[in-house]
């Protein structure tokens, strides 16, 4: 039995790297994931990638198709759904549940002038629809 489900499991940084690869490639075997990961992580070995995929399957982050060889792994959650869950958890833990505090912190130091203009356009557009 799995200790955590995909809804409660928080992926590590290394697991997020593998999820990014799988979201980009779609269901893939360990060799394809390893090859796709090499440009960003040249130190990653095939054995490490395979073991990490197995651990992620055990945590409920990945599904595994055992009907074919080699086995193919796929994320259980869509990228946007997992990102929303991680952001919600981060806001709860780091900003006392305040989305406003998160946005203000991000706007303070992490947004370029071009991005600010784009955010203003988006807010103006959404304000017109409300």
3-state secondary structure 39-105: CCCCCCCHHHHHHHHHHHHHHCCEEEECCCCCCEEEECCCHHHHHHHHHHHHHHHHCCCCHHHHHHH
- Same domain for 88 and 102, yes or no, is no
Task: Indicate if the pLDDT at residue 4 is higher than 70.
Answer: no
Range of the domain at 109: 98-130
Average pLDDT, stretch 74-85? 93
Task: Indicate if the pLDDT at residue 129 is higher than 80.
Answer: no
- Same domain for 68 and 130, yes or no, is no
pTM strictly above 0.85: no
Please count the structural domains in the chain. 2
Task: Indicate if the pLDDT at residue 3 is higher than 70.
Answer: no
């Amino acid at each position: 039995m799995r200790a955590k489900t995909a809804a409660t499991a928080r992926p590590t940084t290394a697991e997020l790297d593998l999820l990014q690869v799988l979201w980009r490639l779609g269901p893939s075997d360990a060799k394809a994931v390893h090859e796709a990961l090499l440009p960003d992580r040249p130190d990653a070995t095939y054995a490490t990638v395979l073991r990490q995929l197995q651990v992620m399957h055990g945590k409920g982050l990945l599904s595994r198709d055992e009907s074919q060889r080699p086995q193919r792994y796929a994320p259980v959650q869509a990228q946007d759904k997992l990102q929303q869950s991680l952001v919600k958890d981060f806001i709860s833990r780091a900003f006392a549940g305040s989305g406003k505090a998160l946005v203000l912190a991000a706007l303070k130091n992490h947004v370029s002038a071009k991005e600010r203009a784009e955010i203003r356009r988006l807010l103006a557009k959404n304000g017109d629809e409300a």
